[in-house]
Structure 1
Amino acid sequence: MSWRMPAETEAQERIWMAFPVDGYTLGETAAQAHEARSTWAAVAHAAAEFEPVTMVVDPSAAAVAREYLSAEIRIVEAPLNDAWMRDIGPTFVIDDGGNRLGAVDWVFNGWGRQNWAAWDKDTLIGAEVTAGAGAMPVPSKLVNEGGGIHVDGRGTVLVTETVQLDPFRNPGTSKAEVEAELARTLGANNVIWLPRGLTRDSDTFGTRGHVDIVATIPSPGVLLVHRQTNPEHPDYTICAEIIDHLAGTRDSDGNPWRIVELPAPATLRDEEGFVDYSYVNHLVVNGGVIACSFDDVADQAAVEILRACYPNRRVVTVDARPLFARGGGIHCISQQQPALATDSIVFSR
């Protein structure tokens, strides 16, 4: 059986998330824990305006989760280390006819065996969600995360050399071997390698270069790319290099991409250093887009660009600063389950 990962703009059955439970995500104080839970809940409620949402909750957090989540959010219990569903959960795919749901269960090892990460429970979440969705398991030996890939649903996948070729993820694995596995699992025959990710994401508490804060594909032939416009930020040079690199690549039809730049927020730093705030890290849902906001002067301009890139979708924003302070964004904490050809999907307005 051959598989295809649909574009995120294709019809969806539901969104999967995971609720914060312990460690750095909740923080060290009651106020920090409340901030984390409130932000995860805000994203869930924003997505639920458009389609069903299922939240995986550690049994120890089931009672407190329901305090933050409305009754429309379905809760399923499973042991968790963390709450980044894009990375710990499976990547959903469909068969050629669009009638069978599959789920690629990548190997998860704490973003390349990071010494601050724990993953003994999270490594089992892919199988839990696969079963909960009624999907056919698609096992893979590739260490990978959902935040490390973006597809157009037509054969193109964006990846990063510092992630899939990371010696702490896939030691000794070649580009050709990664590409063969992405073809087998995602139906990708046009693999575009970015040289690296953003500065902060390459630091101690980052993923070493996830593509989902750098670039995405809002429609066939179009790349939406993060652009840092302030030369005081180290990402200024990195973004220029990435955009120049992408300009030399081709889409699934062999044509040059139309590159749309999505300028970074004006905010350059937080208390930890240079930020990696990115509007690229948004979630596409049926009839809508759940976008990051940062209480920044650039927020409205970003919304307008997203509206232009996703016509006929309503753009809803959620303050993503608490997410980025913990190492990710809206796309990172969510995972879409595509609809099958036999499903009847009604887009909310």
Structure 2
Amino acid sequence: MLENYRHPGEFEPQSDVFMEWIPDAYQMKGYDNSQSCAEIVKALQEHGDVTLHINCGAEGVLDRAKASLLERGVRVEEIEFVQFKDPNFYVRDNGPTVVVDDRGGRILVNPNWSYYGTLPADDPYCVQSRIAAVQMGVSLGIFDVVNSDIVSEGGDREFNGQGVMMCIEDTEVRKRNPGLAKEQVEAEFKRLYNVEKVIWIPRPMLEDDDFRNGPLEYRDGVPYLGSSFAAHIDEMCRFVDANTILLAEVTDEEARASEVNAENKRRLDAAFDVLSKETDAQGNPFVIKRMPVPIAIDYVLTEDDENYGLYEGPIKEMGGSFADGTPWPGGDIHLIASTGYCNFLICNGVVIGQRYWREGMDVAIKEKDEAARAVLEECFPDRTVVMVDSLALNMTGGGVHCWTKNVAASGPVRDGA
């Protein structure tokens, strides 16, 4: 059924973008992620040339979403608001994954879902998220669905549109499909997405890894925790065209500055080693460009914050200690936000990147933002680069790319793809 289909690269033409509007209860105190979402919507309306769908699946969210967007000057009449019940608000990961042929055909690929490896795939929560993906696909007129028992998330799959897929080995095999060998997972990916090669990046960025592993580092004896479950490739390594890969980079100086940076440099160096030896499906080596990493931004989560239980709860379920044996610290906890300049969205005429500097912050953060913009402008000279303030999104565990799910327009491989 899938022999004549392919998964296009994100840099190819797109027809639709889905977003999930987050319930108010999931906002970190002091951060308004609706402002970040409004900036994304405005950029897509101005430059994206797509139909935008905003899912307001939780009770009471639809009215709040419309009011929030109207208040920020968004043209809500151009948005298709839908209400599919979807408990996962990062629609990139369980949203509609669509493959296309060269005759206008589209098929929905629907892998299994385990809420980032934290729940059994048959848990009602996971089943509902998987159902939502099918409902979104059907809303686009896509009725052919190929299901799979393999567990995988959209944020950990990158495609060059010409037979190559990239993903994180530690995530896709050990964390999501521990009962399968890498060869079995790879064979299923090749079947589902009709790719010739799967490039396995060994490990994700440290602060994007499963926070349940244990503290990322200690400062004056205080443990600093990660804020993510995901461990996805879109935080560190992206296709910007069929033969060019953008990979995050930690400098030697940055690696000497912190334990987190040092570990991220080891992981990114290992990724570079893999990529430098790989070729595309035609045997051509890839061009590898580098993207700076942001300066770490910390957040203190107090016990009276509604999101406190999102972090304490999983550790309680593990007996009160992290996987490395560290006990839950109790009281206020210190988080390192899962920030990153590689978590951008490519959509027709626009690339929506992430920026972090705000008035009163270290000017070095602003300089990093500007350096990241310059890289995106170099990689995408024919598109408008819009940098949005994504810190509120990152404080909730994801970013611009996590929050959105693009759907490819059907048709043959396009020039430049």
TM-score, with structure 1 as normaliser: 0.89
CA contact (8 A) 2:202 2:271 kept: yes
Could you tell me how far 1:241 is from its partner in structure 2? 2.2
Secondary structure at 1:245 match in 2: helix
Give distance in 2, aligned partners of 1:134 and 1:201. 35
Give distance in 1, aligned partners of 2:396 and 2:95. 18
- Which residue among 136, 146, 152 is the counterpart of 2:154? 146
Q: Kindly report which structure 2 residues correspond to 1:323-334, keeping only aligned pairs within 5 A, or say none.
A: 323-334=393-404
The residue type equivalent to 2:169 in the other structure is E
CA contact (8 A) 1:213 1:281 kept: yes
Asked whether 1:40 is paired with 2:45, we answer no
Secondary structure at 2:189 match in 1: helix
Q: Which residue of 2 aligns with 1:64?
A: 64
Alpha carbons of 1:265 and 1:68: their partners in 2 closer, same or farther (altered >3 Å)?
same
Q: Which residue of 2 aligns with 1:345?
A: none
Give distance in 2, aligned partners of 1:59 and 1:261. 39
- Which residue among 10, 13, 22 is the counterpart of 1:11? 13
Q: Which residue of 1 aligns with 2:137?
A: 130
CA contact (8 A) 1:107 1:123 kept: yes
Give distance in 2, aligned partners of 1:321 and 1:257. 32
Give distance in 2, aligned partners of 1:127 and 1:303. 35
Secondary structure at 1:226 match in 2: strand
The residue type equivalent to 1:63 in the other structure is D
Secondary structure at 1:332 match in 2: helix
Alpha carbons of 1:63 and 1:333: their partners in 2 closer, same or farther (altered >3 Å)?
same
Q: Which residue of 1 aligns with 2:203?
A: 196
- Which residue among 241, 246, 261 is the counterpart of 1:219? 241
The residue type equivalent to 1:64 in the other structure is R
Q: Which residue of 2 aligns with 1:78?
A: 84
CA contact (8 A) 2:100 2:411 kept: no
Give distance in 1, aligned partners of 2:86 and 2:23. 7
The residue type equivalent to 1:309 in the other structure is C
Q: Kindly report which structure 2 residues correspond to 1:1-349, keeping only aligned pairs within 5 A, or say none.
A: 1-2=1-2, 3-21=5-23, 23=25, 25-27=26-28, 32=31, 35-49=32-46, 50-51=48-49, 52-58=51-57, 60=59, 61-69=61-69, 70-95=76-101, 97-113=102-118, 119=126, 121-135=128-142, 136-167=144-175, 169-202=176-209, 203-204=211-212, 205-229=227-251, 230-231=254-255, 232=258, 233=261, 234-267=263-296, 269-271=298-300, 272-295=334-357, 296=365, 297-341=367-411
The residue type equivalent to 1:141 in the other structure is D
Identify which range, 7-16 or 201-210, moves more after superposition. 201-210
CA contact (8 A) 1:107 1:140 kept: yes
Give distance in 2, aligned partners of 1:281 and 1:313. 17
CA contact (8 A) 1:6 1:338 kept: yes
Give distance in 2, aligned partners of 1:270 and 1:242. 29
Give distance in 1, aligned partners of 2:197 and 2:349. 28
Could you tell me how far 1:277 is from its partner in structure 2? 2.0
CA contact (8 A) 1:56 1:77 kept: yes
Identity %: 27
CA contact (8 A) 2:119 2:126 kept: no
Could you tell me how far 1:207 is from its partner in structure 2? 3.2
Alpha carbons of 1:122 and 1:22: their partners in 2 closer, same or farther (altered >3 Å)?
farther
Give distance in 1, aligned partners of 2:45 and 2:146. 28
CA contact (8 A) 1:112 1:166 kept: no
Give distance in 2, aligned partners of 1:26 and 1:122. 20
Give distance in 2, aligned partners of 1:307 and 1:140. 38
Unmatched runs of 5 consecutive residues or more in structure 2: 70-75, 213-226, 301-333, 358-364, 413-417
Cα RMSD after superposing both structures: 2.1
The residue type equivalent to 1:137 in the other structure is V
Alpha carbons of 1:131 and 1:58: their partners in 2 closer, same or farther (altered >3 Å)?
same
CA contact (8 A) 2:58 2:87 kept: no
The residue type equivalent to 1:242 in the other structure is A
Secondary structure at 2:117 match in 1: helix
The residue type equivalent to 2:229 in the other structure is T
Give distance in 2, aligned partners of 1:48 and 1:58. 22
Give distance in 2, aligned partners of 1:133 and 1:43. 21
CA contact (8 A) 1:21 1:80 kept: no
Could you tell me how far 1:341 is from its partner in structure 2? 3.2
Give distance in 1, aligned partners of 2:83 and 2:58. 6
Give distance in 2, aligned partners of 1:74 and 1:163. 33
CA contact (8 A) 2:23 2:58 kept: no
Task: Give the total of aligned pairs.
Answer: 334
Secondary structure at 1:298 match in 2: helix
Secondary structure at 1:166 match in 2: helix
Give distance in 2, aligned partners of 1:18 and 1:219. 27
Cα deviation 1:145-169 (Å, max 9, x = unaligned):
00010000001100111221035x2
Give distance in 1, aligned partners of 2:390 and 2:281. 32
Q: Extract structure 1 runs of 4+ deviating beyond 6 A.
A: none
Could you tell me how far 1:302 is from its partner in structure 2? 1.1
CA contact (8 A) 1:16 1:53 kept: yes
